[in-house]
Homo-oligomer: A and B are copies of this chain.
Amino acid sequence: MSETVTLLHPLDDALQLTNVGPGLFRGRTTPAYWNMAGPFGGTTGALMLKAVMEHPERRGRPAALTVNFCAAVAEGEFEVAVRLVRDGRSTQHWTVEMTQEGRGVATTASVVTAAERETWSHRFAAPPPMAPPSDVPELDISQRSGWMTAYEMRFAEGPPERREPAVGDVRSAYSKLWVRDRPARPLDYPALAAMSDSFVVRLLQVRGDIPPIATATLTTYFLGDEAALARQGDRPLIGVADGRQFQHGFNDQTAELWSDDGELLALSTQIVWFKG
């Protein structure tokens, strides 16, 4: 007797959901996307989005996702409950909650889906100039573990580097890089959602260290359609991240993900809580 072994991509493994009731899904964390105190927020967001996409009443593609990181997700199983709040002619509005037994709500999300359609279009913005991926060295991940090893990152500017914080040594919050899943994987909306959180916390670059820190809430708009994601395939995307203001224990972080032919596929903002 022969066995067929299907090797799942680590992202598809992390995003596996089992439908266990109407609008109710079960999943579990995986070591491949572990972060310091819980799973990588990007995969948590992608799970919230994927649960909506697997709902039988979902029409169209994702247009927007807001993920609220209410509490750390513990290692192990979780449930994701999806509710169709409003089924409009042109858009659907969804709310999603991730809970863990005995721990209450870990994550909430809202999602907007919309039918694909063609309209008047204009692009004002363009990605920053970048040398081709092959000319930009890969970030060395030999000393890293968890989610940071799940991305191939080629920083053209602003790589994540620890250094001794020093008064007056404040560096730019701006980064630009080529980024894709490792191993390479064709782009889809869950992958794009996860990638929108793959920009290392700005404070590390700016100050050189990572104090206790957590994203409070993350919003991603999906501006590229299915065809644009298919055209991009598994090639590296251009990622740009920045932060404007760090004070009162919070900072903003803005990110853009561009196709390699110059289309803005996703625009993302988050507010990051930090201590000290």
Chain A interface residues (CB < 8 Å from chain B): 63-64, 66, 68, 70-71, 85-86, 88, 90-91, 93, 95, 104-105, 108, 110, 112, 114, 116-125, 170, 172-173, 206-207, 216-217, 219, 221, 223, 225, 242-250, 252, 263-264, 267, 269, 271, 273-276
Instruction: Note all chain B residues with C-beta closer than 8 A to A91.
Output: 216, 273
Residue pair A114, B250 in contact (C-beta under 8 Å): yes
Q: Which of B85, B206, B223, B249 contacts A119 (CB 8 A)?
A: B249
A242 → chain B closest CB, angstroms: 8
Residue pair B216, A246 in contact (C-beta under 8 Å): no
Alpha-carbon separation in the docked complex, A267 to B269 (Å)? 9
A243 → chain B closest CB, angstroms: 7
Number of copies: 2
Instruction: Note all chain B residues with C-beta closer than 8 A to A125.
Output: 244-245
For the complex with contacts A66-B219, A93-B105, 20 further pairs of A-B residues with Cβ separation under 8 Å are: A63-B250, A66-B66, A66-B217, A68-B85, A68-B93, A68-B112, A70-B86, A71-B86, A91-B216, A95-B95, A110-B110, A114-B249, A117-B248, A119-B248, A122-B247, A123-B247, A125-B244, A219-B219, A252-B264, A269-B269
